[in-house]
Chain A
């Protein structure tokens, strides 16, 4: 039974990372119609930046995190300005190919900057445990879950109450209408990219103690697709719930299914959802008008 709960918590923790990557991914998709196949790599860059600030430059942990996230916002905005905005109006395939090309580039960039090795990232939670009754949980896992909850609450407040958050929602809902009421759509898009990249950066730094910092950690980002689709592709709460479900299903597959299933559980789930309920758990289906 304990084993079950420990797997549940570690699965939820990993799921939180998926959820955050999926959240940024959905945020960007909803607002700008860009399906960012490089979002996992954006996350990887965030993790490496965290590593640079904390390990190489010896920043205190939290200051390092803040510095890395600040860099990520700039990075996200630059990506939008110089790579994605010129693509506006082009077909879905152009976007897919450009973001795939970007993912290759970012991996190449990271392996040049930081090398192909795997790096551990020491955190204030490393090698500590939380005891609840006779349950022994890794503090890192618990910290991830707590941080995710705080972050999601902050984002909720941001979208609900701040002017910028509401402008972002309006742009996602209807670009043209947002433009007509005086929202600077291009600038808001850049900010959404900045926000998405920042969240991915946080996810990358959170993932670092679990999977180490390395060039290929961006493949985790591919799990954001099943998470986003499960949640209805376009629904932000859906992306969060979807991410956590994927994380938990994977960790349960380790316990209860033959070896190998944990690697593909997310993708099996994706195929099943697409076949049975393509609109996801939270979405609605629409038909093109003629």
Chain B
């Protein structure tokens, strides 16, 4: 067993809980930095997609998991980010300002869609964001003088202070750096006044208001932050694929984003990342399993989406705390060994899809 010793309130505010988690993260960073030296383009690309999806998932987590506002429109913010950076960079603007603009424009659109969110809850908000997503998709298709419509656009290499981000490895490092910065930003938000206010208005809006929390302000702020992060991820996604077109940003993408955070475990950043990893790894597992399936089944084009659909349903029904639930129990098992008992976490609802009641 292991008890961290804390001697001042400042000790409780550190980024890492104790020394062992510092060591764990140092190993993780070393691994991620070393990865391009030991693996090829394929693995790096997959990890890059984990970074990108992970950013979106964390943005979603802040909005859905921590604030309790359901969004089925994040593909739209993703698209706005991708198109903003691409359109600007085609016109010769360097990556960093274009990247910032992608985040800013997504945030502004997030604010606008956040406005109906002030009056809407639960299912109404899900529908409003869904409708919004359709409209953005249509605008991209129709505004062809800027977006090239259905033909799509080729994305130029990002240029940072004259350095061309061209290879798979370059994009990998760029996405990795942005990903970890986003992690830091979200953790900092969550562990301060704003983060507490968001959690408060999710659990009880009347009580939150009686404590002086301005519901309107914090709800729209959550939308704007979440949209900005998703927009940044969209800009990276454009550079990763080097080609964007409207059908990449359809409604199914929003659904996938939502499912990632459900599978990962609602209300935890670990869950967001676990869900993203799962989402990238699952198709690989399916490819491997395919070899052992009857040919008729293995050839089905819908195997990936069907498997994901089934797994999501199973998670909600049988493990509503998601992958993070397994992780929490695994950690508890290690630290409490040999005293861990089954069912110790039965009463905890944190990280379950049950979090949002209204």
Name A residues whose Cβ lies closer than 8 Å to a Cβ of B: 35, 83, 86-87, 90-94, 96-98, 100-105, 107-109, 111-112, 116, 222, 225-226, 229, 233, 259-260, 263-264, 266-268, 270-271, 274-275, 278, 288, 290
Contact = CB atoms under 8 A, between A and B. Distances in A.
Nearest to A278: B119
A266 B127 CA distance: 12
A83 B310 CA distance: 11
A222 B130 contact: yes
Contact of B127 (A93, A108, A225, A264): A225
A83 B356 contact: no
B58 interface: no
A98 B302 contact: no
A260 to B, nearest CB: 4
Contact of B128 (A222, A263, A274): A274
Query: Taking chain B's interface residues, is the majority helix, strand, or loop, or is none over half, making it mixed?
Result: helix
B128 A96 contact: no
B128 A270 contact: yes
Contact of B310 (A86, A105, A233, A290): A105
Nearest to B204: A290
* Most chain B CB neighbours (cut-off 10 Å) among A83, A86, A96: A96
Interface string B117-156: 0011011101110111011001001100000000000000
B356 A91 contact: yes
Given A112-B300, A274-B116, 11 more contacts: A91-B357, A104-B308, A105-B313, A107-B302, A225-B131, A226-B127, A233-B124, A267-B135, A271-B116, A271-B131, A278-B120
A264 B313 contact: no
Contacts of A93: 64, 70, 262, 266, 353, 355-356
Contacts of B64: 93
B5 interface: no
In the complex, which of the residues A97, A102, A278 has the most CB atoms of chain B within 10 Å of its own CB atom?
A: A97
Interface of B: 64, 70, 72, 115-116, 119-120, 122-124, 126-128, 130-132, 134-135, 138, 141-142, 206, 251, 255, 258-259, 262, 266, 300-302, 305-306, 308-310, 312-313, 316-317, 320, 353-358
A189 B72 CA distance: 27
Given A91-B354, A105-B306, A111-B301, A271 B128 contact: yes
B2 to A, nearest CB: 34
B123 A92 contact: yes
Contacts of A275: 115-116, 119
Contacts of B317: 86-87, 98
Contact of B309 (A105, A260, A268): A105
Nearest to B205: A288
A268 B132 CA distance: 8
A99 to B, nearest CB: 9
A271 B132 contact: yes
Contacts of A116: 301
4 cross-chain pairs, A with B, having the tightest CB-CB distances, nearest first: A267-B131, A104-B309, A108-B306, A108-B302
13 contacts: A86-B317, A90-B320, A92-B356, A93-B262, A93-B356, A94-B354, A100-B259, A105-B310, A112-B300, A222-B251, A226-B127, A260-B142, A278-B120
Contact of A92 (B119, B122, B138, B141): B122
Contact of A97 (B301, B312, B358): B312
Contact of B305 (A104, A263, A288, A290): A104
Contacts of A92: 70, 122-123, 356-358
Contacts of A83: 313
A278 B124 contact: yes
Given A97-B316, A275-B116, A264 B138 contact: yes
Nearest to A215: B302
B126 A96 contact: yes
Nearest to A285: B119
Contacts of B353: 90-91, 93-94, 97
B302 A112 contact: yes
Contacts of B320: 90, 94
Contacts of B251: 222
A100 B258 contact: yes
A4 B185 CA distance: 56
A259 to B, nearest CB: 7
A94 B124 contact: no
A35 B258 contact: no
Contact of B141 (A104, A107, A260, A270): A260
Contacts of B131: 225-226, 266-268, 270-271
Nearest to B125: A274
A260 B138 contact: yes
Contacts of B302: 107-108, 111-112
B106 to A, nearest CB: 18
